[in-house]
Structure 1
Amino acid sequence: MKELPSPTQPLMQLLESPLRRRPQVAPPPVRRAEAAPVLEVVWARHQDEVRAAQRLRWRVFVDEMGASLPPTPLLGANHDIDRFDAHCEHLLVRLPGQAGRPSEVIGTYRVLTPAAAQRAGGLYSDSEFDLAPLAAWRPRMVELGRACVHPEHRTGAVIMALWAELAAFMARNHLEAMIGCASVTMNDGGHHAASLWTRLQASHLAEPAFRLSPRLPLPVEQLDTTLEAEPPALLKGYLRCGARILGAPAWDPDFNTADLPVMLRLADLPERYRRHFLGA
């Protein structure tokens, strides 16, 4: 929000004669723009930091979006945890603690590197798609997942902070591509997701050599594909950065989403994003 100028002498006061001047009402206080919060971008190094990310994920995916996830033994029903978490690097954006308050995780991604994917027995995306066409890319490709931002901090600053560190991570480790599932809600039964896929395959579909097949396809042919469907904010950001859709959406019953396979190669970053994220 832009800062408003200080109020000047009221217009009516200038136009009225001093003898006919009406009682003046004090103008409302001017609302000043609040300073942007200081953000701390870190990689989780301790289990409690990972747990904070998992609690944020539960709040967004379950409490807000309605995902149906099982409670975690010992931790209860407020942590989103699966078998890949132990193999992933967890990137966090935090509000630093102050006045006796601990820091708060307000944004997160998890990153599965090629070496970690081997230890995990594959990628999360393997469960949703046949990734055989990407076999040659696996040694140079990371999987991004579980991206979310606290609902009170969705101004763009958090996701940009996450992306900047992800790009630096890719450069430091000589990695060339990112893959992940971009989720589209199915609260309307899937019509929005089917319409979005119909629109995006005409403009952002990858070349045939990269096309993936979903293991549990969204039944697009049974859905309305004529809606004016806009991509979710995160997917829209990926597409602006040069990402391509690798094929038709899979249906994820647990999260009640249609998942589009997305790949972003650093070589495809537009120049302005390359300068912003990589300084090149």
Structure 2
Amino acid sequence: MDRPKPCDLVLTLSLSRGRYGVRFAQDPAEVLAAQSLRHRAFFSRTGQSNASALDVDAFDSTARHVIIFDLASADLVACYRVQFLEGAEIAQAYSAQFYDLTALADFPGILMELGRFCLHPEHHDPDILRLAWAAMAHLVDQAGVSLLFGCSSFLGADPLRHAAAIGHLSARIAPPDRLARAKTADRVALNAFAGMGTAAEAMAGTPALLRTYLGMGAWVSDHAVVDRTMDTVHVLTGVEIAKIPPARAKALRQIVTDCLGYNNTVSAMH
């Protein structure tokens, strides 16, 4: 019997920790809630956000939307979306708009692209991030994912604002057989910033999500893309699941176990 295509994988997601639960969005209204939170998170700092605005693109129709919410009020506190791909399907990834991903087309197994990760600007409980990572780890194990990848973004479209962090990433460039090639003209080479700033400045300037990926052994593209629409600079980031340090993999799976231990009766979104 032929195995199902990645997009047809039957996956379950129902975890909780403390005040919060996480699962897939179950209907169009919940996807709209995620799109509303995304717009607020991504555009409020640029003065473009308003209460009724949405962040929407063509990939929303093919992705699975992960929502993290307050169990008591059902208010959304974080979200992201994932796509499951295989082989040549890599050309359908969101990241393929900005990077030539041909080198990843022969990566064996199922690939999971994670994107549009955002937190509600008024919610800072560390359980939210723990639950987000628990959901990622749970999906990776459940789907048998071999590569987790996506665009890791720095807020602000001026590369010089992120020079120290970008320069230090030049030590984590992907091996030649996995290297994403340039596709857009609005880009900067990581090596152009090598040696700028201290290690402490680089760490402070690296987004939390990217720091976690790097702790899992991630590699990055050799250039950063300037995305003026989103007002970000981003690098393609890949985590080969089989190469995650054993201690880090164990810690991630322990988070999943901890979240499974909570009451997983989650209320519907309002």
Q: Same fold (TM over 0.5)?
A: yes
Work out whether 1:190 is the aligned partner of 2:171: no
Q: Which whole-Å CA distance do the structure 2 matches of 1:89 and 1:181 have between them?
A: 17
1:68 touches 1:254 (CA, 8 Å); kept in 2?
no
- Spell out structure 1 runs of 4+ moving beyond 6 A: none
2:223 touches 2:235 (CA, 8 Å); kept in 1?
yes
Greater per-residue strand proportion: 2
1:89 touches 1:111 (CA, 8 Å); kept in 2?
yes
User: CA offsets, 1:13-48, max 9 Å, x none?
Assistant: xxxxxxxxxxxxxxxxxxxxxxx9511111111111
Counterpart for residue 231 of structure 2 = 256
CA shift in 2, pair 1:218/1:77, >3 Å:
farther
Counterpart for residue 166 of structure 1 = 136
- How large is the Cα RMSD of the aligned pairs? 2.8
TM-score normalised to structure 1 length = 0.74
Counterpart for residue 199 of structure 1 = 168
Counterpart for residue 39 of structure 1 = 20
Q: How does 1:50-129 map to 2 (within 5 A)?
A: 50-64=31-45, 66=46, 78-97=53-72, 102-114=73-85, 118=89, 122-129=92-99
How far 1:163 moved relative to its partner?
A: 1.3
User: CA offsets, 1:48-74, max 9 Å, x none?
Assistant: 11111111101100113x2869x9xxx
Q: Which runs of 5+ in 1 are unaligned?
A: 1-35
Work out whether 1:181 is the aligned partner of 2:142: no
Q: Which whole-Å CA distance do the structure 1 matches of 2:76 and 2:244 have between them?
A: 28
Equivalences, count: 230
How far 1:193 moved relative to its partner?
A: 2.9
- AA matched with 1:90: H
Counterpart for residue 18 of structure 1 = none
Which of 126, 137, 153 aligns to 1:156? It is 126
Give the percent of matched residue pairs that are identical in Structure 1 and Structure 2: 26
Q: Which runs of 5+ in 2 are unaligned?
A: 1-16, 258-270
2:166 touches 2:193 (CA, 8 Å); kept in 1?
no
Greater per-residue helix proportion: 2
Larger Rg: 1
TM-score normalised to structure 2 length = 0.76
How far 1:219 moved relative to its partner?
A: 3.7
